Structure 1
């Protein structure tokens, strides 16, 4: 187990309760959580807030908006891998980030400085690392 995250946990166990330290964009979205743990999204995703829904496409470059930047300091209230292999993160009442699976690429992953912890693989499969050193 590295930084309190191990392969026998669920994504909820690994992420719930962690605070967002930073949000960055570019050709991907990186949410750095305390721990440190990073959630990286390299595929399209949706951020649903109570009053709006925004769609983002990293291949067109992600520029974090007010809604995404507003996640800094917020806590991950819930996290789950969907039945299809997507990722959903709920942030303490401000919104939900949803990453769909992708047939040809790994659209998301969760990692520590030691390496990947959990990765959404092509075709909707999900892989957990035993020691945090893969990926």
Structure 2
């Protein structure tokens, strides 16, 4: 699933981040990445951990992603989402947890949706 998700996300610019019970990453071209599960943001010198289920605001290195471009996106064999940004930061979402740990969508509906246990569904597949 790496190639389809990479082609759907790579090169897109982060336009906005919002928090709450999930992290919502709004990308250029009307694409949104929704993260409901715990995730980590690794940077050049640190790793930060976030827990949307407890409520969260984009703090630490997250606000620095606004304006960044996605350099690569992939789904691991276990179903984790890995987003690499041109800033050198990498956001990794664990595949287990909520019913939908993460999803990628447009105004036309979901493109990719992670299911609990690491399963992945893709529109048109």
1:84 matched to 2:86: no
Task: Choose which of 69, 72, 75 in structure 1 pairs with 2:66.
Answer: 72
1:22 matched to 2:16: yes
Residues 53-81 of structure 1: CA deviation (Å, up to 9, x unaligned)? 10000111111014111111100000000
Unaligned runs of 5+ in 1: 1-8
Give the corresponding residue for 1:108.
102
Give SS of 1:11's match: helix
TM (normalized to structure 2)?
0.93
**Structure 1 pair 14/93, CA: closer, same or farther in 2 (3 Å)?**
same
The size of the alignment, in residue pairs, is: 124
Give SS of 2:37's match: coil
Structure 2 distance, partners of 1:86, 1:74, is: 21
Give SS of 1:10's match: helix
TM (normalized to structure 1)?
0.87
Shifted more, 96-105 versus 54-63: the winner is 96-105
1:61 matched to 2:55: yes
Q: Which runs of 4 or more aligned residues in structure 1 lie more than 6 Å from their structure 2 counterparts after TM superposition?
A: none
